[in-house]
Structure 1
Amino acid sequence: MNIIDLFSGGGGLTEGFKQQSYNILCHVEMEKDACDTLKTREAYYYLKNNNKLPIYESYLAGNISKEEFYGYIPSEHLSKVLNYKISQNELPNIIDNINRLVGKTKIDGIIGGPPCQAYSTIGRARNDRKKEKDERIYLYKYYSKFLEEYNPKFFVFENVKGLLSYKDIYKERLLPKIIKEFQSKGYDVNHKLLNSADYGVPQKRERLFIFGIKNNLHKKANTFFESLLFYREESISIKDLFFDLPIMSAGETKNEYSEKKPVPFVKNNLRCSNEYLSQNISRPNNNRDKTIYRLVVKAKDSGKTIKYNELPTSLKTHKNEKHFLDRFKCLNENEQSHTLVAHISKDGHYYIHPDLTQNRSITVREAARIQMFPDDYHFENSRTSAFKQIGNAVPVYLSSKIARTIKEILK
């Protein structure tokens, strides 16, 4: 089926649909780094389909520049990525560009989730003060414009759990208004809070999914969520997820697998045909941070969690000892990860590696694995940008199950 991808980010939702053989006609994304990542992934699929993957591997190894790499790719594949901020002013340009790309091809589905910071419960009091001017609150109306323009069979709208309780400037819950808006375009609509860990993702991550299916198809949206339950499965632990990755220290880069064999789940879903591991980059840390990390990991091993106000005075750098006391957090190696968020681009204190001998925060590749990106998925253009793209993504493994379920109910 042919779909368009709005508010694409680094491509977690998209990758899951690609794995289920959907044809992505175009992506619309405002961040340039994320657009470059999407172009690189489009290039990967072109090379894979034409038996030219050594070119991609050469790029990952740093043997050719991005410009040289893109030179091997026909322009129609790279031009699928539209670098636009979806807004009132840009909407006509975006639609014109999409129409140019798709021609007379029928669009079967629209996927995507607008930026979620406006709805998040974190920082809600601060965001409430600027509700009247915050355009992000009403991005769903632009999403609705695309539904009206292209009349697809289905859509998938993803956002944070906070949207369930969020109230607009009229102090009315926004979610019922969003659903009513989508219903007015001719869709049967339903929503559900999904925890990625229930679907095999090694991460406890709750997100709200709104699914709509065209009324004239005589199917109900709740059928999608009922069918998706078939794909529930237990997820592996962090220990198993990282088992085949190399031991390393803070500030190191090790783009080689260890000699340990991956567990079957990793081998089947994350390891790729090539044996080149990319972007296994660990953030450097100063001695104070590493001292704190050791304390946090040791406490975790004994079943305790150290709060910021419990640290020795010599290790504290903030005067605030009443709020945000869980600034340092270690992954539990015997469970799934706690929710990975974009803040990891600023520091890794909330994602400390559970192995005391390594004494560091997780690498870009380890974060990508938590989000179930394949090991050959490359994020442009810096370590910071890669962490941000990964933290904002939909876990690929969940996305793939969503895509598969949609195919089954539309048969």
Structure 2
Amino acid sequence: MNIIDLFSGAGGLTEGFRHDFNIVGHVEKEAAASETLRLRDAFYYFKANHRESTYYDFLNNKLSLQDVFGSVPTRLLKGTINEEINDNNIQNIFKQLDERIGSASVDGLIGGPPCQAYSTIGRARNAPKKASDGRIYLYRYYIDFLRRYLPKFFVFENVRGLLSFKDMDGQLLFPKMKLEFQKAGYNLDYRVLDASDFGTPQSRKRVIIFGARSSDTQMIQRFFDELSHLKTRAHTVRETFYDLPRLSAGTENNNYAKIPTKFIKKNFRGNASIPLTQNCSRPNNDNDLQIYQIVAKAKANGINVKYNELNQKLITHRHTDKFLDRFKALGWDEPSHTIVAHIAKDGHHYIHPDYTQNRSITVREAARLQGFPDDYYFESSRTSALTQIGNAVPPIFSKKVAEAINSII
């Protein structure tokens, strides 16, 4: 089945669909994320042609990104459209997708517009900007794609804040959205789902909207019923980091430390030839490292230290009446708390559970907690990689979504 991937990011949602669906094209505005998508498409091209060694040469720094792109068909690279979806670009995006689709039909549309506009964090501060925040209404472009390609189904992922977000008239936005989708010929329903219930080693609650043509409304309930049957136990940080090496702040270690477990083989190291990459941690100043050790030691004893509980010598922020969990450690024997894009700015909210390592988590550790396999490489810097990871849909979860759809269609 053919699907179009909108607001693609690094491709976390797409990754779950790759085995049973044909990705016609990705549309993504960020250049670095678009390079990540192209690289992932190249990986699957090499895999299909039994040339994985070429990709592994790239991961081992024997080939450049341009070497990789020069080894795959140009048409493959054009599958990622690096443009912002807006009034100026949408017709050109349609044209590029139409050329790729040809006479074929589109079976599904997947994606989730940027969620920052709906987030409950900073909502009061952002309220005055509502009138000029175009991100609020990006879902209307999603509807434009539905009208043009008339797919059988769509999957729309977003933050829980979408359900409580109020439009400029003070009314809830979501019922209005639902009505607009219905006018376009699609019914929908939603569930708030936690990715940890589907095998992702991270507590991550998101709104999953599933829609179908108005003539096939039974598909919606069947999808959610099927997806509920795919739940599994939550995995822990300890299980996820089991074979990763020790390192200290500001260093990199790309050597696996242990033989992988069954869980790690299945989700992260399926091929024994996969090298470890991007296992680099941030450097930190002495003050932060002192705080990290205190917070990680307390977490090991089941205590979450608040910022205003630290020694006064360590408190450098003026405001001690809010954001009191600004320093937070992961717990070994539970799923991670939610990875968000702020991890690209600092790692204070993601301190490694081993206080003897005294650091925040690496890019690769963050990717694992988000459910990305170790052969997934993020372009083109540590900051960009962490942003892409924090914004992504966990692939372990998205595979379950794709499996449920595949079962009912």
Residues 302-313 of structure 1 mapped to structure 2, 5 A cutoff: 302-313=301-312
Q: Which stretches in structure 2 are left out of the alignment for 5+ residues?
A: none
In the alignment, which residue of structure 2 is the partner of 1:66? 65
Q: Which amino acid aligns with 1:133?
A: S
Aligned mates of 1:15, 1:146 — CA distance in 2: 21
Q: Tell me how far 1:97 sits from its aligned partner.
A: 1.1
Aligned mates of 2:25, 2:118 — CA distance in 1: 26
Contact 1:188 1:220 in 2 (8 A): no
2:264 to 256, 263, 266: 266
Deviates more, 1:301-310 or 1:227-236: 301-310
Aligned mates of 1:288, 1:218 — CA distance in 2: 57
In the alignment, which residue of structure 2 is the partner of 1:201? 200
Q: Tell me how far 1:217 sits from its aligned partner.
A: 3.7
Q: Tell me how far 1:73 sits from its aligned partner.
A: 0.9
Aligned mates of 1:156, 1:390 — CA distance in 2: 20
* Residue correspondences, number: 408
Give yes or no for the alignment of 1:325 onto 2:324: yes
Look up the SS of the partner of 1:24 in the other structure. Answer: strand
Look up the SS of the partner of 2:266 in the other structure. Answer: helix
Query: What is the alpha-carbon root mean square deviation over aligned residues?
Result: 1.0
Q: Which stretches in structure 1 are left out of the alignment for 5+ residues?
A: none
Residues 229-244 of structure 1 mapped to structure 2, 5 A cutoff: 229-244=228-243
Q: Deviations over 1:289-342 (max 9, x none)?
A: 111111001111222111111111221221100010111000011100000000
Aligned mates of 1:106, 1:256 — CA distance in 2: 45
Aligned mates of 1:367, 1:298 — CA distance in 2: 20
Residues 8-407 of structure 1 mapped to structure 2, 5 A cutoff: 8-18=8-18, 20-217=19-216, 219-258=218-257, 260-273=258-271, 274-407=273-406
Look up the SS of the partner of 2:212 in the other structure. Answer: strand
Per the normalisation by structure 1, the TM-score is 0.97
Contact 1:296 1:306 in 2 (8 A): yes
Q: Deviations over 1:363-397 (max 9, x none)?
A: 10110001110100000000000000000000101
Look up the SS of the partner of 1:17 in the other structure. Answer: coil
- Identity rate, percent: 52
Aligned mates of 1:175, 1:356 — CA distance in 2: 43
Q: Which amino acid aligns with 1:312?
A: N
Contact 2:54 2:68 in 1 (8 A): yes
Per the normalisation by structure 2, the TM-score is 0.98
Q: Tell me how far 1:68 sits from its aligned partner.
A: 1.5
Q: Tell me how far 1:216 sits from its aligned partner.
A: 3.1
Contact 2:340 2:391 in 1 (8 A): yes
Q: Tell me how far 1:161 sits from its aligned partner.
A: 0.4
Look up the SS of the partner of 2:296 in the other structure. Answer: helix
Q: Which amino acid aligns with 2:170?
A: K
Q: Tell me how far 1:215 sits from its aligned partner.
A: 2.8
Contact 1:12 1:395 in 2 (8 A): yes
Q: Deviations over 1:67-108 (max 9, x none)?
A: 112110110111000011111111111111111121112110
Aligned mates of 2:141, 2:232 — CA distance in 1: 35
Contact 2:156 2:208 in 1 (8 A): yes
Look up the SS of the partner of 1:248 in the other structure. Answer: coil
